[in-house]
Amino acid sequence: MKTPPPARWIKWFADIAIEDIPLVGGKNASLGEMFRELAPHGVKIPDGFAVTAEGYRYFLNETGLTARIHELLAGLDTRDLANLRSRGHSVRQAILSAALPADLEQEIRAAYDHLSATAGLALDVAVRSSATAEDLPDASFAGQQETYLNVQGHLGLLDTCRRCFASLFTDRAISYRVDKGFDHFKIALSIGVQRMVRSDLAASGVMFTIDTETGFRDAVLINAAYGLGENVVQGSVNPDEFYVFKPTLKTGFRPILQKIVGTKEFKLIYDIGGGKMVKNVPVPPGDRAKFAITDDEILQLARWACIIEDHYSAKKGHASPMDIEWAKDGQTGELFIVQARPETVQSRKPLDTIETYQIKQRGRVLVTGRSVGERIATGPVRVIPSVQFISQFRPGEILVTDKTDPDWEPIMKQAAAIITNRGGRTCHAAIVSRELGVPAIVGTEHGTELLRDGQLVTVSCAEGDTGFVYEGKLPFTVQRTNLKELGQAKTKVMMNVGNPEEAFSLSFIPNDGVGLARMEFIITTYIKAHPLALLDYDKITDPAVKAQLDALTTGYTDKPQFFVDKLAQGVAMIAAAFYPKDVILRLSDFKSNEYANLIGGRAYEPTEENPMIGFRGASRYYHPRYQAGFALECRAMKKVRDDMGLTNLKLMIPFCRTVAEGRRVQAEMEKHGLKRGERGLEIYVMCEIPSNVILADEFAEIFDGFSIGSNDLTQLILGVDRDSTIVAPIFDERNAAVKK
C-alpha cells in the first residue's frame, strides 16, 4: 500500500492513539487505538481516517461561522423549546450552506481516494461524528451526533462531512451542553471516515463486557440482528441476545450461557438510487425465527470483547468494561469491530449497597418484554406515538411508545417508567433509562396497542429478564442492604436458586455458593415439554400437541436437542453466576402427575393413587419408562461441565430409596459421560427417606455428601401426606421423631 498523501487536517487510524481524544474525539481515538494495538491479536477493525477537530475549527473560522453561531445562540433559554428549535435550525442551516475551505476539501478528497485505491474502486464508507468531549466519565455524549452509512464518491462524502459538523448543533446537543455546563466552543467535532462493512448482507449489533442489568462482570452480552447496525443501536428491532462466560472462554471452552431469539422484524440495507443511502425492509418470517449469527461467531465476538476490555483495563490501571459495536461482512463472511467506548452505567455503581425491589402481590399481566433495571414503579400510562407529541407528557407518568432516540430524553427524565414496542437491552431506551435509574421494559411488540392513556399500571423489572406490566397500582417493597455492615457468618451460607434469570443479581449477596439449584423451574418455565414427547416427536399423532411442540422448538429440527440446550443454558447461568464456588444441582424431581402436565406428558405418565411415594426421583432414571428422558438430562449436564468448563457444577440425586438404586443411577450417569470423581464431579444424595438416615454409612460410601430434605423426611416419618389439607396440622418438621 502506498504512503498516504501528506495532510494538515487528516490523521489515519494507524497514526491515532487513545491519547488523541482532544484531536480526533472519543470514537476515532478508540478506533485508532484498536487498529494499532489489537490487530496483532486478531481483532479486525476496518481501515479509515479522521478529519481532525482542528479541521472543524479551521472550517468555522475561515467561513466566519464562529462569530455567526455566537450571535445566533446569545441569550438562549433551552427551556423555551420553540426558541431552541428556531435557533438550532438557524445554526445548522448556516453550517450546511457554507462551503468547505478549498484546501480542507482537497485533503478529504485525497484521503478518500487513497482509501479507495486499496480496494480498487470508489469505496462506500461510514461517516461518523466524533466529539472531542465524547465518552468522558462525567458526560456521555452517546447518540448526540450523527452517523451516515453507505456514503460514496467525493460529493456524497463532502456533503455528509458538512452534515456531521452541523450535527454538533442539533437541538438536543445544544440543550445537553447547556444542561451539563459545557462551552459550545470548547467542544469540537472530528469526523471518522471508515470503510463500510457490508453487514447489510449479513448481521451486526452491540456487545457489552458487563451485564447491563446487574453489573455482573464475568459475562459478555451480545445483541445481534440482520442488516446494518443502526437498528440495534436505535432500538428499531428486537434483536437476538447471547451471554458468554468470560473466565472459561479464556481457557478454551465454549461457554454460551444463553441464547434468546429476537423477532428482528426489519433490516437496514443499502438503498440504490433516489438519493437515500439506506432503507429498512421487512425480514422474512423464516429468517426471523433463526439466530442472526452462529455459535462460532458468538464466541469469536466474545473473545474480541475480552481482548478489548483487557487492553483498556491495562491501559487505565483498573477494570474498564466496554460498550462495543460489531458488524459481519456478507460478502466475505468476516467479523469486524466498528466502535468501542467505556460502559458508563453499571461499571460506576457502588458495589457495597444492594437495593432489592419486591412485588408483594401480582396482578393481571397486560404486557411483557425485556426488563431493564431491577426496579418497580407505578403510575398512569401516557401513550406517545411520536416525538412531535412529547409536550403532552406529564412528570410521573409511564411513557409508552414505539421506540426512543436522543430527541426523547427531555421527557424520559420525568417518566416513572418507560415501555417500548421495539428494542433490545442495548438500545437507546435501555441505555438512557439505566443512566436515569428508571425501570424500563423494551421489546413488548404491542405495548402501544394494549395500554391506554390514563390507565393505572405497575411496571415490574424486579422478577428477572422478563419485565411485567400489571393492571392497577400494586404494593411493593424496597430493601437497601449495606454489605459493609454485614458480619461474616461462622458457618458456610449457601443459597437456594431456582430461577436462572435472577442468578447474576443474587451472586452479589455474600454467599458460599449454591446448596440447592432446582431443575424443575427450568423445565417448567423454559422447556415446558415432556422430554419423551420431544424424543418421539415424529410419532406424535395429536395435532394440538404437535402444534405446541412446533411453536416451542422453532428453529430446531432436532427436537431433543432443544431440551438439552435449554436445560444446559438455564443451569449454566446459575453455575456461571457463582463460579468458581460450588453449585449443587438436584436432578429432576417431578412426580408423575406433574410430569403429565408438561406438553405431551399425559401419553407417558402412569396414573398413581399417591404420586408422592410413587414413580419419582432416582427410581425414574434407570427405569425403561423414563431412561431416555434421563439421558437428555445427563447430556445437558455434560455440556455445562465439559463444553462450557463449569466444573463447579455438582449433581444431586433426589428420592433415592436404596443403596442399590444409588449404584444403578450412577451407572446410568456414567453411560452418558458423568462419572463420579472424573474432572472433579461430585454426586450428592438427598436425605429425605428414613432409609437414607438408617443406612447413612452405606449411602456415604457411594455419594460425596447429603442434603437434608426435611419436607419429605417429615412426611415419611410421621406418615403424613403433605399434599393433604385435612392432616396438615400434624405436619411438623420440629417433631421430636423427625429431629431425632
In percent, how much of the chain has pLDDT > 90? 72
Tell me which of 36 and 142 has the higher pLDDT.
Answer: 36
Q: Indicate whether 416 and 283 sit together in one domain.
A: no
pLDDT tens per residue across span 300-327: 999 999 999 999 999 999 999 999 999 9
pLDDT tens per residue across span 234-247: 888 999 999 999 99
CATH number of the domain where residue 342 is located: 3.30.470.20
CATH number of the domain where residue 637 is located: 3.20.20.60
In a domain, 716, yes or no: no
Residue 273 has a pLDDT of 62
Residue 211 has a pLDDT of 94
Q: What is the mean pLDDT of the chain?
A: 91
Tell me which of 346 and 740 has the higher pLDDT.
Answer: 740
Q: Indicate whether 458 and 575 sit together in one domain.
A: no
Q: Indicate whether 30 and 173 sit together in one domain.
A: yes
385 closest CA partner among 375, 377, 393, 394: 393
Rounded Cα–Cα distance for residues 363 and 361 (Å): 7
Rounded Cα–Cα distance for residues 615 and 622 (Å): 11
Rounded Cα–Cα distance for residues 568 and 564 (Å): 6
Q: Indicate whether 550 and 633 sit together in one domain.
A: yes
Q: Indicate whether 226 and 151 sit together in one domain.
A: no
- Is 315 strand, coil or helix? helix
* Exposure letters 387-402 (e unless 16+ CB within 10 A, then b): eeebeebeeebbbbbb
Rounded Cα–Cα distance for residues 574 and 518 (Å): 10
What is the pLDDT confidence band of residue 59, given thresholds at 50, 70 and 90? very high
In a domain, 734, yes or no: no
Q: What is the mean pLDDT of residues 28-44?
A: 95
In a domain, 715, yes or no: no
| Among 195, 215, 239, residue at a domain's last position | 195
Residue 136 has a pLDDT of 47
Q: Indicate whether 505 and 633 sit together in one domain.
A: yes
Sheet strands (E) in 539-648: 583-586
Residue 137 has a pLDDT of 39
In a domain, 722, yes or no: no
Residue 140 has a pLDDT of 42
Q: Indicate whether 515 and 598 sit together in one domain.
A: yes
| Among 348, 369, 385, residue at a domain's last position | 348
Instruction: Record the pTM.
Output: 0.88
pLDDT tens per residue across span 584-619: 999 999 999 999 999 999 999 999 988 889 999 999
C-alpha cell at 687: 436425605
pLDDT tops 70 at residue 740 = yes
Q: Indicate whether 78 and 190 sit together in one domain.
A: yes
Rounded Cα–Cα distance for residues 197 and 183 (Å): 35
Rounded Cα–Cα distance for residues 601 and 524 (Å): 12
- Among the residue ranges 144-158, 186-200, 460-474, the one predicted with the least confidence is 144-158
Q: Quick check: 394 and 415 in contact, CB under 8 A?
A: no
Q: What is the mean pLDDT of residues 455-478?
A: 94
* Beta strands 649-653 and 683-687, pairing class: parallel
For the chain, the distance separating the N- and C-terminal CA atoms, rounded to the nearest angstrom, is 83
Residue 275 has a pLDDT of 54
pLDDT tens per residue across span 535-562: 999 999 999 999 999 999 988 999 999 9
CATH number of the domain where residue 20 is located: 3.30.1490.20
DSSP 672: T
pLDDT tens per residue across span 615-632: 999 999 999 999 999 999
Cα 144–Cα 165–Cα 196 angle in degrees, nearest 5? 80
Enclosing domain of residue 692:
487-708
Q: Indicate whether 674 and 619 sit together in one domain.
A: yes
Q: Indicate whether 411 and 527 sit together in one domain.
A: no
Rounded Cα–Cα distance for residues 11 and 164 (Å): 17
In a domain, 723, yes or no: no
CATH number of the domain where residue 402 is located: 3.50.30.10
Q: Quick check: 53 and 29 in contact, CB under 8 A?
A: no
pLDDT tens per residue across span 250-292: 999 999 999 999 999 999 999 876 555 889 999 999 999 999 9
In a domain, 727, yes or no: no
179 closest CA partner among 431, 406, 417, 430: 406
pLDDT tens per residue across span 109-168: 999 999 999 777 778 999 999 888 644 434 444 445 678 999 999 999 999 999 999 988
In percent, how much of the chain has pLDDT > 70? 97
Residue 102 has a pLDDT of 96
Torsion of CA 56, 58, 64, 68, to 10 degrees: 30
pLDDT tops 50 at residue 74 = yes
Residue 351 has a pLDDT of 65
In a domain, 717, yes or no: no
| Among 482, 516, 542, residue at a domain's last position | 482
pLDDT tops 90 at residue 465 = no
Q: Indicate whether 342 and 367 sit together in one domain.
A: no
In a domain, 5, yes or no: no
Q: Indicate whether 98 and 18 sit together in one domain.
A: yes
Domains contained in the chain, number: 4
Residue 145 has a pLDDT of 62
